[in-house]
Structure formats: structure tokens, C-alpha cells
Amino acid sequence: MEICYVLDASAFINGFQITSKRNCTVPEITAEIKDFESRLKFDSAVNEGLLVIEDVPQVYIDEVGEIISKSGDVLRLSSQDVKLISLAYMLMQRGENVKLISDDYTIQNTSKIMEIPYSGVMTKGIRGIYNWKKVCEGCKKEYGEDYPFDDCEICGSRIFKKRIRVNK
């Protein structure tokens, strides 16, 4: 069965490449994705139907809360973290083949306790070295990191920061 990826905000922010047709997350994650590039990637995945934003019934959140507290681990999970883990848990209960993608150590650790398959983006061998450059939204002129203005000196359009991967 095709893997259904359960994506944390860190998956988008750290450059997780969507290759599967089945990806999902919870509504709370949406608010955590703020930078331009991650946001663009998030929105286009939703628009293309590759990413489904799914809410989780309280019953699963309660069950997850119970399992976590029984583990005896002192875990500092935010409510959206718990919700995301609950989504993965719910899908597993439905017999789905899931993998939770997060670079958050606490989420990874909880996944381990709950026997939810998980993977990081940055922590895997695909770690890249990133740099920023500034690009004009209008004429696409590229500026160095040290260019001090928010608008393009040629066309006056807004300049956005773009993360680029530096290949070794």
C-alpha cells in the first residue's frame, strides 16, 4: 500500500520533497508555516490535491494522550504536536501505511513510543547546506544577502528571500 505521509510544519520548512500522492496534515500546522517558500510549497500541494488537511476526532486525541502519559516519559508536546501524532495514529487504526515526517525530536520520540513509523528531513542523509539569496518578484533579478532594500532597484517590485541549496 502506498505510504501516507503525515507532515509536520518542519517537513515543509526543512524542504521535504513531496513525491507521493498521499500526504496529510492537521489544520493547526497551517499557521506554523510562515516563510514565503514553504508557504508556496504548502499551498500548491493543497491546490494540486497532493496534501489533505484533515481534522482528528477527539477520541483519537484522548487515546494518544493516554498512551503518552502511560509511557512515563516527560514530554513537552504542544497541542498541535499531539494532534499531528493523533492523525498518524488514526490513520494507522484504519489500516493505512503511514510515515510521520518531522524534525522535532519530541515528536520523533513520541512516535517511537507509539510505534508510528517516522522520519526526519534534516536528520536523514539528505541533509543539505542552505543559503539565502534575495530575488525580485517582478524581474527576477538576484541580489546578494547584503542588499539592504525590500524593493528592486530596477523595477521596484518586492524582493523576497529564497532558500537555495548549495550542492557539495
Instruction: Choose, by CB under 5 A, the member of 48, 124, 139, 158 that binds Zn ion.
Output: 139
Nearer to Zn ion, 99 or 141 (CB): 141
Residue 142 CB, nearest distance to Zn ion (Å)? 10
Three-state DSSP state, 126: coil
**Triad 53, 162, 18: Cα angle to 5°:** 35
Terminal C-alpha separation, the chain? 35
Other Cβ atoms less than 10 A from the Cβ of 56: the count is: 21
> Is 152 one of the binding residues for Zn ion (CB under 5 A)?
yes
95-134 mask for Zn ion (x: CB under 5 A)? ----------------------------------------
Residue 144 CB, nearest distance to Zn ion (Å)? 15
Query: CB under 5 A: which stretch of 3-11, 42-50, 122-130, 148-156 binds Zn ion?
Result: 148-156
User: Alpha carbon 45 to chain centroid distance?
Assistant: 12
> Is 52 one of the binding residues for Zn ion (CB under 5 A)?
no
Query: CB under 5 A: which stretch of 8-16, 61-69, 82-90, 136-144 binds Zn ion?
Result: 136-144
Cell matching residue 76: 513537552
Using CA atoms, how far apart are residues 151 and 56, in angstroms rounded to an integer?
42
Nearer to Zn ion, 96 or 143 (CB): 143
> Is 155 one of the binding residues for Zn ion (CB under 5 A)?
yes
The residue with its CB nearest to Zn ion is: 152
> Is 151 one of the binding residues for Zn ion (CB under 5 A)?
no
130-133: long-range contacts, CB 8 A cutoff, minimum separation 24? 130/15, 130/163, 130/164, 130/165, 130/166, 131/163, 131/164, 131/166, 132/161, 132/162, 132/163, 132/164, 133/161, 133/162, 133/164
Nearer to Zn ion, 41 or 134 (CB): 134
Nearer to Zn ion, 121 or 159 (CB): 159
Write out the H or E segment, with its range, that includes residue 163. strand 159-166
